[in-house]
Every structure is written in structure tokens, then in C-alpha cells.
Amino acid sequence: MTTLAQNLSSRNNQANTRDLAALPSVEYDLVRAHVLASLVTLVISVVFGITVATKFSFPEFLGSHAWLTWGRLRYNHTEGIFFGWLGNAFLAFFYYAVPRLANRPVLSRKLGWFLFWIWNFAVVLSGWTLVLAGFSQPLEWAEFPLVVAAFVVLAFVLMVFEFVLPFLRARLSDLYVSGWYIIGGIVFTMLAYPVGNVVPNLVPGARGAAFSGLWIHDAVGLFVTPFALAIAYYVIPATTRRPIYSHFLSMVGFWLLFFMYPLNGTHHYVYSAIPMSAQKGAIVASAYLGMDVILVVTNLLLSLRGNSDTASKDIPLRFVWFGVVAYLVVSLQGSVQALMPVNRFIHFTDWVIGHSHLAMIGFASFIALGGIAHMWQRIAGTSYNARMMNWSFWLLAIGLTLMVADLTIAGLVEAQVWQSSAPWIDSVRAVGSYWLVRTLSGLPILAGFVLFWTGLVTGPRSETVTSAVRPVASEDVAAFDNDSVAAPGSSWTGWLSHSHVVAFGAGVGFFALSFLVLAIIPGRELEDEIKRVAPVTMATLTASEQRGRVIYGREGCAYCHTEQVRSLAADVQRFGAPTEPWETKYDYPQLWGTRRIGPDLSREFNLHTPDWQLTHLFNPRLVVRDSVMPPYPWLFDGGPNKPTQEGLDVLAYLQSLGRARQLSGFDGQRLASSIQPATSEMPMANEPSGRATPPAVPVPMIGGFSFTAPVLHPAADLANLQEETSRGGTLFARNCASCHGSGGSGDGRASASLLPKPANLTAARFTDERLSSVLWNGVAGSAMPPWRQLPAEDLRALVAYVESLHVPHGAPSTQEAASLGLGKALFAATCASCHGESGAGNGPAAGALAPPPTNFHLKKPTQERAWDVLENGVPGTAMPPWRNELSADQRHALVEFVRSLYAPPPENDGQ
Amino acid sequence: MINLIVILTSAIMFALLLVWWRWPVFRGWIEAPKYSMLLQERRFDDQKTELELPTNSTSDKW
């Protein structure tokens, strides 16, 4: 009892002493300036976001200007939210709260304005401008170029002086939890930011990705989260005028958060080439983080106990309450989606985009808006328009709920399609309507933000604080006087009086720990592995390929196409062998990506011809009707067959992806030296009914020629054949008409820039074997890709439809038959070296030709087509024109002879 | 890696719980900031006029 009395006396004396001292000044001008800057940049960033979302539904929208392309706007959307909106909102809060928490003013007003100008003009405005002009980094949350990153680091150094120094000078023995979060967040972000921005430019590929993973998570976990929680922990007691439920729990939450968040980084690369020990460590840390968040949120919600009326009526508190609940939901969601069984399914899908919007809007933005409204009401001369604020809240809540629900479902749909062997474009088609809803859900969100802004500037003007603010009454802090409090300076709490130093040290220490555990140790393992297994013949990129890589990063390609095949059956059967660390050893910076709107590109070598790639870059919808990829006309001089040097550079880079793997013989060596792996994860399915050809062992790429191609015979009975043909027509229009034309005449939109031209399917009769082989293997040396990922019944329907395009002619006339002898002799003399003695396309020269010579046993051209080929040759192939070498009669004889070689299957059994 | 994380986290938690259980005075010390924060709010509330003080009163040593 004596001790308690002494403590109470000491505490009361301390409080009285404080009352006598002058209050620290608060830089309200800087609060106002940062609030207004935050809202201006917020609205601009949301407009960037809605434009980006619109392009999913209307890919040509604003598509002809490089500076308005999807990738650049996407970079500016997230960076604007991060630096412009949240950065300014947090800075406004610091100017308001630090003098109150530290009982000292911030270091300097001039420094504050200098920081304001750096943050908004050297970072946000310059960053946006440079990104639009094509100067950026393809690194998540680090898209602004390095010159801007330097100013960001400078700004954080200045923040240490401006905001951390007052805490250090105050020598507070009882630092409130918001102060801990402010100090920890500033220090940690100052240290972590260069890790995500600079290190991946110095450390390549998988090793660099380990560092990128750290920053991807730290950006949210150690910049956004601490400052948002600092606001929540401040606004709740300041509004309810009651202390938070437990400061002890708040400190447990603080330490666990700063310990666990940095260790989460690698959960963005589960099933990747990063050592599994680091991946599993990150997953465990993610689970722990979920528990920590439960503790933090429980403490915050218990702090609102008995104040449900206040929480419903006080608009800033309502914003904060919503943010706290969203924090719980998004964090538990994050913990669950880091688990391998969930991650393998939903990673790379729109589920993750929904998750990030819930975090950045539902959690961080709602709390930041609540903090701004709280401050605004307490600054003399400013107050908000409550009606508009109320509308703003509900518009934001409804828009966000719709957006997150929509994206979550879209993610599940994408995941389901990706688990099947359906063509990639089917996943794009499947979520098209969800993308439209997502865009529309952005409109109430934009309206909510605009109303919030309007509510701030149109509120009633008053020279005093608004009467709605209830001052702290003596009875509200009565509990303080009745609590047992340790006297400052008592023996065991002596070291605790330097808690701010502990916080500073903790930030540095945990940063170093995460660096060591998730980046340096795995990096060394990767380095050793690369040295051990990398083929000695692995070549670096050429100058053109390297330039193409820079353009690829500049245009944001890595934000839709990954360059990492995960060690999952679904990934391997779709894209090929899992990415090995050594394959990335020259990738500065890594371009692994964390999102797939388009397919993975790491096995692109030999997958598409140059003319297909260029046509696709010029306008993706010329070759893939339902693609949502942006066009890149600025890489061309007016047409797909007129690429600029930049276009050729991108082409060169794309064609280098996976080249080292294929040319090195790595997989052959591994096959020869290793035991066949278990096939339960990746079952082989070569039978015709198989929906795909998942490899039993990793192979470099899909699409290579397969001798096991099934022969797909259309149905034998007329009713089924008609049904198959009809379905085949639908499939043809969806997948083939872009090149072959809607009627199959080879005159599709893409045909103008493809060489050789897409086949005129009406000008020849094909056997089932020929069509099956082409659909299964594609046509080497042409833009025709393999379509074996389609279900067998779809392939069969396509065979039926293509065969229906050919109109049979009558039997050859007597005269035509008479010329067969001449034709045979001419064929043996002029054609057999390529087409083979029997016309089976297997002449001595055939092996070196791509596309291969026609096998006339499987394809019967019409007379017109055969004549045209002999007259003009086939551009883009080895077939020359013969009009100058052979007379008209000779050519007629050849036409009849090659048509006579056709040998349709003896029976059509419908198998 | 997993062992390291589990052991470190468990150790931090047990240490905090031990201190909380063994030294009641720690509870008072650790809870004090939540009250001092409110006291500080009351001081700012009480000083109505300082809410819009001329900002040039801030130290400008930098």
C-alpha cells in the first residue's frame, strides 16, 4: 500500500508538472497541406485504377498512346496510392499526433515544408511523370525509377529527424503505442525500401526475388500497417475519451507484428525456386501473424466496449471501426492464402487482387480517412460536412464490398480453369463479366473519395474546435489515478524508461533478422546450387535482347505474365518444366511476377514464330480474338510487319525466354541421371481422351512434335456428325478465325502479317490424320500453334468442321487421268527431293525444312489451289514458283498427279 | 527455419507473460501510457486557443 501511494503521488505530481509546462506547438498548416495533397493524389490514383480496370473490358481504350498504356497506368495507380494518398495521410497524422505523444514539437517547420515538397514533387509527381514517359522499374511497390527512390530514402531520413527525434529528446518513460508504431514504421521502412528497390538490380533472378519478396510484404506490413494502426490506436481513445482496453496487449501486438511481418515476404513465392525452407518459414510466420492480428483487433474492439453509440454516430470513429474489422478479415485471409493447399490454387489469380484492395482500401484507407476526419474536426477553422461524410462512408463501404466479393469469385473461377487443361484464353473469357463488375464497383469508390474531399472543404467554418468534440472529462481518466503505477526511475524499470531506444533497436534488429533469414541464407543456397548445376554453355542475353527486356519491364508485361513455372502439376502441364534457379542467373532485375492475366512466358522460346509474336504485339486481338492484352502500336511503323528497333528488341527478348534450358540439354542430362519421379502428381495422359499431355517428367516446353498424337475421327453417323460440325464451327470462330478467316479461307485479320499465310482450309481436302496431327502438334515454322490442350471432343469437332469446309469435286476426266503418267515423271524429277518419292512429305531435304513439305497422302488440294502453288510458290516456305521452269501442260499434269496421291483412311469408325 | 521462428516467438510470448505474472508493478508501468495519452488530449482540449497557434512558434533549428 505504501508503494502504491507513493506511485500515485509521483504520477500525479508528474501530471501536474506537465500541466504547468507549455504545450508543444502543432504544425497545423502542414497537417492541412498534407491532407489536401493526400486527397488530390488519392482521386488521381483512383482514376488511374479505374482506367486500368476499364482496359480489361475494353483493351483498345486509350490504347494508342504509349503513356496511357495499361502497364504504365498500373504502376502509377499503386505508387500513387502508396506514396501520394497514404504517404500524405500518414504525414498529416504525424504532424498532428507526434507533438501530443512526445510532448515535444516536431523538429522544424522548415524541414516539414521541405519534406512536403520532396514527397509530393520529387517523389509523387516526378515518379508519375517518369513512369508515364517510360522510366520505371518492373518491381512491385518499387515501380518508380531509382532516381525517385533516392528521394524516397531521403524523405525517410528526414522523417527520422522530424518525427523520431522529438521522441528521443522527450525521454518518455511511458511511450504510447501509437508512438511506438510511428518510430518503428519510419525506421523500418527507411531501411527496407532500398532492399526492394536497389538490391534486385544488383542480385539477379531467384536470389533477387528473395529480396523483392521482403519488400513486397514490408511495404504493406511495415509502412502501411504500423501507421494505420497508430491512427486507430489514437483515434479510438481520443474519440471515446476512454483508455484503450490494454496497453500491454497493444505492446505484445506491436512486437509480434514487427517480428513477424518481415518474415512473411517469401510467401509471395510459394512453390518457386527459392529454397523450400525459406518458403515454409514464411508460411509459418504468416500463420503467426494472423494470431497477432486477432490479438490486436480484439484489443482495439474491446477498447470500443460500451461505446457502440459513439461508434455509430461519430463518423471518423465509424471509418476507423470499419478499417479495424477489415484488418482482421484481410489478415486472416492473408494467413490462409499463404498455406500451400490454398496458395497453389489461388495464387496469381484475381483473388489476390481482391485481397490487396481489401487491405489498401478496407483497412488502410478507411483508417486513414477516419484519422483525417478526426483531425479535421479538431483543428480550429476546419470541420467537415457530416452529411457528405456519411454518404462517403456508405459509398466506399458498398463499392469496396462489391469489388472484393467480385474479385474473390473471379479468382476462384480463374483458378478452376487453370487447374483444367482448357486453353489459357478460356480463363480470360470466364472472368470477363467479373472484370466489368470490378470496374463498375470502382465508381462508387471514386465517388466516395470525392465526397470525402468535398465534405472536408465544404464543412462549416469556425475559429474554434467544433462543439461535437467532447473534451476529456476528469472522470474518464479516473482509472489512471486508481491504477498501480510504477514510479519513474524505480530500480527495475530504469532501463524501460528508454523504451524509444528499444523501439529503434528493435526495428533495426528485426530488419537484419528478416534480411538474414529470408534473403541472405536462401541466397547463398541458391548461389551454391546455381554453381553446381548451371550448364557451362549458358549464354547471356544479346544487346538487343537486353534492350527488349528493359522495354518489357517498362510496359508492365511482368504484371500480367509471370516468368516462373511453379513446381505444381497444373503449372508444369500447362507451361513446361518448373523454373530452375540457374535459369535466372542473368536476370537483373528478376521478372518473376506475382500475377497471371496472360500465360507464363518462361518457355516462350520456339513456341511462337516471329511473325505471330509481332502481330500479337501490334494488336493481340488480330491473332487471339478474346485477348485483353493492350496493343503496342508504338513499337511499329504503322503495321505489324513493320516493327521498329524497339519492337524487334522485344521480339528478341521474348524468343530468348527458356532458350538456355532447351539448348543446354539440361533436362536430357537430368533424365539420364535421375530416377523417374513419382507420377501421381503429374499423371501422363497420352490417350486421345486425355485433356492434356501432362509430362511425367519435366520437359522444357509444351508444343513439341509428338509421335503419340491421337487420330481423331469425327462421328460416323450423320446426326452426331452434324452436331460435332456445328460445335466445331463455334470453336473455329472462337479460336481459329482470327488467322484462317471466318470461312476458313485463310483470310483472317492476322493473315496480312503472317508468313507463311494461314492455310486456306477450303482449298484442300485433309485426312483425319493430317488434321489431328496439326491440331496436336501445330505446324513448325508457321504461326499455327498446337491445340492439344483442348479436350479431345473439341479437337474432334474441329476436325469435323474443317473437313466440312471442303467442297468435293467430281472424278477426274479421262484427259486428266491420261496426264498422270507425265505428272509422275515430273514429280520424281522436281518435287521428290522435298516431298518424297511417294509424295509423303519425307524427301531427303524435308528434315531441314520448316514448315515441312506437304504430305499429299494426307492432303488433297483443289485444282485451283495446286495450280496457284505451282504458279506462285508458297511465301514463307521452301516451296518455289514453277511457272518459269515448267510449261502449263506440265504444271497441269503435276496438279493431277499430286491430287491423285491422296489416300483417305479405309474406314471411318468414329474412334 | 520453422523451428527458429516458433522458438523465438514462443520465447517472446512466454517472457512477456512471465513478467506480467511475476511483477505486478510491471502491469502498472505498461498500462500507464494509455492514461497519459488521454491526459495529454485533455491538456490540448483545455488550451483552446493553442489549437490554432501561429506555427512560427515551432523551433526552427534545422
Quote the percentage of chain A above a pLDDT of 90. 55
Question: Across residues A147-160, what is the average pLDDT?
Answer: 97
State residue A690's pLDDT score.
29
Contacts of A483 in chain B (CB under 8 A): 28, 31-32, 35
Q: Would the pLDDT of A26 be above 50?
A: yes
Cα A422 to Cα A113: distance, rounded to the nearest angstrom:
56
Interface touch B2/A284, C-beta < 8 Å: yes
Interface touch A277/B1, C-beta < 8 Å: yes
User: Which has more confidence, A825 or A38?
Assistant: A38
User: What are the beta bridge partners of residue A12?
Assistant: none
- Cell numbers describing residue A460: 462549416
State residue A351's pLDDT score.
97
State residue B20's pLDDT score.
85
Cα A49 to Cα A400: distance, rounded to the nearest angstrom:
13
CA torsion, ordered A285, A286, A288, A292, to nearest 10 deg = 130
Contacts of B10 in chain A (CB under 8 A): none
Cα A47 to Cα A69: distance, rounded to the nearest angstrom:
14
User: Which has more confidence, A115 or B1?
Assistant: A115
Three-state helix/strand/coil letters over A585-618: CCCCCCCCCCCCCCCCCCCCCCCCCHHHHHHHHH
Measured CA to CA in angstroms, residue A450 lies from A404, A812, B33, B36 at distances of: 20, 77, 37, 37
State residue A83's pLDDT score.
98
CB A775 within 8 A of CB A787: yes
Cα B57 to Cα A542: distance, rounded to the nearest angstrom:
61
Interface touch A247/B2, C-beta < 8 Å: no
Greatest alpha-carbon span in chain B: 57
State residue A465's pLDDT score.
53
**Nearest chain B alpha carbon to A478:** B35
**Which residues does A56 contact at the CB level (< 8 Å), separation at least 6?**
A432, A435, A436, A438, A439, A597, A628
Question: Across residues A562-582, what is the average pLDDT?
Answer: 92
Contacts of B5 in chain A (CB under 8 A): 263, 281, 284-285, 288
User: pLDDT per residue over A42-82, tens digit each?
Assistant: 999 999 999 999 999 999 999 889 999 999 999 999 999 99
Q: How far is A60 from chain B (nearest CA, A)?
A: 48
- Which run of H or E residues covers position A859? strand A859-861
Within an 8 Å CB–CB cutoff, is residue B38 touching chain A? Answer: yes
User: pLDDT per residue over A191-242, tens digit each?
Assistant: 889 888 999 999 999 999 988 888 888 899 989 999 999 999 999 999 999 9
Contacts of A486 in chain B (CB under 8 A): 25-26, 28-29, 32
Measured CA to CA in angstroms, residue A908 lies from A344, A714, A797, A810 at distances of: 43, 8, 15, 21
Range with the lowest mean pLDDT among A152-161, A416-425, A699-708?
Answer: A699-708
Question: Across residues A553-558, what is the average pLDDT?
Answer: 96
Of B2, B16, B52, the CB nearest to A252: B16
State residue A670's pLDDT score.
59
State residue A291's pLDDT score.
92
Q: Chain-wide mean pLDDT for chain A?
A: 86
State residue A826's pLDDT score.
84
Within an 8 Å CB–CB cutoff, is residue B52 touching chain A? Answer: yes
| DSSP structural state of residue A520 | I
Within an 8 Å CB–CB cutoff, is residue B16 touching chain A? Answer: yes
Interface touch B37/A479, C-beta < 8 Å: no
User: Which has the closest alpha carbon to A178: B44, B29, B36?
Assistant: B36
| DSSP structural state of residue A477 | G
Q: How far is A569 from chain B (nearest CA, A)?
A: 26
Cα A750 to Cα A728: distance, rounded to the nearest angstrom:
21
ipTM associated with this complex: 0.82
Interface touch B53/A107, C-beta < 8 Å: no
Task: Note if the bond before A589 is cis, omega within 30 degrees.
Answer: yes
The segment with the largest mean pLDDT, out of A169-173, A271-275, A299-303, is A299-303
User: pLDDT per residue over A821-859, tens digit each?
Assistant: 888 888 888 898 888 888 888 888 887 788 888 888 888
Q: Which amino acid is at A897?
A: F
Q: How far is CA A117 from the centre of its chain?
A: 31
Cα A394 to Cα B40: distance, rounded to the nearest angstrom:
33
User: pLDDT per residue over A773-814, tens digit each?
Assistant: 888 888 888 889 888 878 888 999 999 999 888 766 655 555
Interface touch A23/B9, C-beta < 8 Å: no
The segment with the largest mean pLDDT, out of A158-172, A297-311, A427-441, A728-742, is A427-441
Q: How far is B56 from chain A (nearest CA, A)?
A: 8
Q: Would the pLDDT of A333 be above 60?
A: yes
Of A176, A255, A259, the CB nearest to B33: A176
Would you place residue B50 in the very low, low, confident or very high pLDDT band (cuts 50, 70, 90)? very low
Within an 8 Å CB–CB cutoff, is residue B3 touching chain A? Answer: no
- Cell numbers describing residue B13: 510470448
User: Which has the closest alpha carbon to B23: A497, A493, A176?
Assistant: A493
User: Which has more confidence, A702 or A427?
Assistant: A427
- Residue B46: CB atoms within 10 Å: 12
State residue A848's pLDDT score.
78
**Strand runs labelled E in A753-837:** 764-766
Q: How far is B62 from chain A (nearest CA, A)?
A: 6
CB A776 within 8 A of CB A786: yes
Would you place residue A463 in the very low, low, confident or very high pLDDT band (cuts 50, 70, 90)? low
User: pLDDT per residue over A588-612, tens digit each?
Assistant: 999 999 999 999 999 998 888 999 9
User: pLDDT per residue over A363-390, tens digit each?
Assistant: 999 999 999 999 999 988 889 999 999 9
Cα A757 to Cα A749: distance, rounded to the nearest angstrom:
11
- Cell numbers describing residue A633: 502500336
Cα A338 to Cα A321: distance, rounded to the nearest angstrom:
26
Question: Across residues A682-707, what is the average pLDDT?
Answer: 37
Secondary structure class of A4 (helix, strand, coil): helix
- Cell numbers describing residue A423: 486453353
User: pLDDT per residue over B7-46, tens digit each?
Assistant: 877 887 888 889 888 888 888 888 999 999 999 998 888 7
Quote the percentage of chain A above a pLDDT of 70. 86
Q: Structure pTM? A: 0.86
Within an 8 Å CB–CB cutoff, is residue B34 touching chain A? Answer: yes
Question: Across residues A688-714, what is the average pLDDT?
Answer: 49
* DSSP for chain B, written as a single string: -HHHHHHHHHHHHHHHHHHHHH-HHHHHHHHHHHHHHHHHHHHHHH-GGGGG--GGGS-B--
Of B25, B36, B47, the CB nearest to A23: B47
**Nearest chain A alpha carbon to B31:** A247
Contacts of B61 in chain A (CB under 8 A): 107-108
Contacts of B21 in chain A (CB under 8 A): none
The segment with the largest mean pLDDT, out of A500-504, A569-573, A686-690, is A569-573
Cα Rg of chain B (Å, integer): 21
Q: What's the angle, vertex CA A67, arms to CA A66 and CA A71, rounded to 5?
A: 85
Q: How far is B14 from chain A (nearest CA, A)?
A: 11
**Nearest chain A alpha carbon to B11:** A256
**Which residues does A165 contact at the CB level (< 8 Å), separation at least 6?**
A107
Would you place residue A616 in the very low, low, confident or very high pLDDT band (cuts 50, 70, 90)? very high
State residue A647's pLDDT score.
97
Of A19, A108, A378, the CB nearest to B43: A19
State residue A825's pLDDT score.
84
Q: Would the pLDDT of A724 be above 60?
A: yes
Would you place residue A520 in the very low, low, confident or very high pLDDT band (cuts 50, 70, 90)? confident
Interface touch B50/A25, C-beta < 8 Å: yes
- Cell numbers describing residue A768: 483425319
Question: Across residues A732-751, what is the average pLDDT?
Answer: 91
CB A193 within 8 A of CB A149: yes
Rounded to the nearest 10 degrees, the angle between the axes of helix A70-79 and helix A28-57 is 150
